[in-house]
Amino acid sequence: MWLHTEITSLADIPRHYARTAGDRVALMSATRKMSWRELDLASNRLANLLIARGVPPGGIVAFFGKNSIEYFIAIFGANKAGCALLPLNWRLAAPEQAAVLQDARPQTILVDAEYAEALRQAIEAGAPPAASIAFDSAGAQDTELADGLAQCSDADPRLAIRPEDTALLLYTSGTTGQPKGVQLTHGGLNYMRLCEHLEPSLAWRPDDIMMLVMPNFHMVGTGLSLQGLYNGVPLTILPAFEAGSVLAAIERDKATVCCLVPTTIQMLIDHPDAAKADLSSLRLIMYAGSPITAGLLGRAIQTIHCDFMQFYGATESGGAITLLRPEQHDLAAEKKLKSCGSPVPLIEVKVVSPSGDTLPDGEVGEFLVRSPTLFKGYLNKPELTRAAFSDGWYMTGDAGYRDQDGLLYLVDRTKDMIITGGENVYSTEVESAISKHPGVSQVAVIGLPDSQWGERVVAIVVPAADACPTAEDIIAHCRRLIAAYKAPKQVVFANHLPMTPSGKILKATLRKQFREMAET
């Protein structure tokens, strides 16, 4: 069944390939390459460094930095030390970062030089002090991490790892705006690899090279990278998405598989270098975050000449729930491009009514998922964990329907989430930040269609009496409290907000009103 029966934990991936293909390249960046043997030994040394510093099995090791070779040394090193790795969202504002660190309380933080000041600010904002190990992904050799690794044995500590042990801790915002630590286990991630292995459209080729450009703190970044590494595929790593750098890296490293979101696909093909770049090595672009339009797909196929595949998933699912496979990306069947596809093998999806009854095809309800890949719970939040499940089914909070061909369509998000540029933004979180402005009486935040970002964050603000805040004031205020991508791209001032008799803001009315205004 499994591709590699001897791989039962993330820690086993470099062990296996160090033994079977030690001299092959595992990781590469613009300036470095690391073989499987080197990755295995480096992660052994990091595990021994963590153990020597007193990090206990079952502890949490945080990583504060963008994509880098060091990130994957951190994943496998932390796991070999019996710990979970927490990639911190480097886009968060200091108060948001502090809230995550308060909840997770990692024993050690590996911090890139670029984010040393951000970590200091997070501690000033209330994060508990934690031991840190500094490194520099830009290439400086004389760092605390390099010195520490040089003094440690490269012998594998071989600590026991159980399937139910947490391998990764990824944070996602809740509808209340409070961070939730999603605990993904070694067993669940291993089952995700099995689901993928049984899916024909996810087959890997001997000459494949996968490119990582999506953020490591997202499942789409880390999860797909681990999928490639599990299959022995070399990974070429970019710190973050920048269209020109992506085009250059595809040419340089001959990447064959890449994951993006529709917004970044558009940025890529709109770049001045796209027309002359050699993109012939690419055979597949995976995308997530939102459906692709027929217009964008057509332009992308003309520019890149490769297959496209959409996947829909959640952090809690450990990876893809459904796939819209390459053969379903038919420009002549435009309706299907709005679908998120059908389930991956071993994963079940049903559509239910608010009372929990399974709905027939064509009727809109909530997507529930049952899978061996699901997370084991939210860290420190047993009540939220219980509330996320119904008789063993994970309640996604996403609303949609299944058509007669078995394809699933998302039509709304019951958690009131906005997806902008592939990033999840919860309106209540933005509203909480805006409400702290002294010139604001009431606020409602909605997502509206946007040609560049998929959706843009729009704030409708009722000013306080005798106050005259400006849109620029509101946006600047937000950016001091929450990540810049969550701040509204548009602020509209109103005399009042539509309300139910019980005082609840009618966001559906606002969405309809503003969409109709945009169409007239």
pLDDT at 502 over 70: no
- Per CATH, the number for 347-413 is 2.30.38.10
**What mean pLDDT is predicted for residues 83-97?**
95
Write a three-state SS string for 389-444: EECCEEEEEEEEEECCCCCEEEEEECCCEEEECCEEEEHHHHHHHHHCCCCEEEEE
pLDDT at 137 over 50: yes
pLDDT at position 248 is 96
Residue 98 half-sphere exposure, CB side, CA atoms within 13 Å?
15
Fold of 12-322: Rossmann fold (3.40.50)
Amino acid (1-letter code) at residue 441: S
Question: Distance between CA 174 and CA 302 in Å, rounded?
Answer: 39
Q: Considering the chain, what percentage of its residues have pLDDT values greater than 70?
A: 97
Task: Please tell me the pTM assigned to this model.
Answer: 0.88
Question: Distance between CA 468 and CA 500 in Å, rounded?
Answer: 27
Query: Is 358 in contact with 350 (CB distance < 8 Å)?
Result: yes
- Give the pLDDT confidence of 415-465 residue by residue, as tens digits: 567 888 888 787 878 988 898 899 998 899 999 988 888 899 999 999 988
pLDDT at 499 over 90: no
Task: Please give the mean pLDDT across all residues of the chain.
Answer: 93
- Give the pLDDT confidence of 185-237 residue by residue, as tens digits: 999 999 999 999 999 999 999 999 999 999 999 999 999 999 999 999 999 99
Pairing of strands 179-185, 377-378: antiparallel
pLDDT at position 338 is 86
- Give the pLDDT confidence of 234-274 residue by residue, as tens digits: 999 999 999 999 999 999 999 999 999 888 898 999 999 99
**What mean pLDDT is predicted for residues 458-487?**
94
User: Does 417-519 carry CATH code 3.30.70.580?
Assistant: no
Q: Which helix (H) or strand (E) holds 275?
A: none
From the number of C-beta atoms within 10 Å of its C-beta (0-12, 13-18, 19+), residue 207 rates as exposed
Domain boundaries, the chain: 12-322, 347-413, 417-519
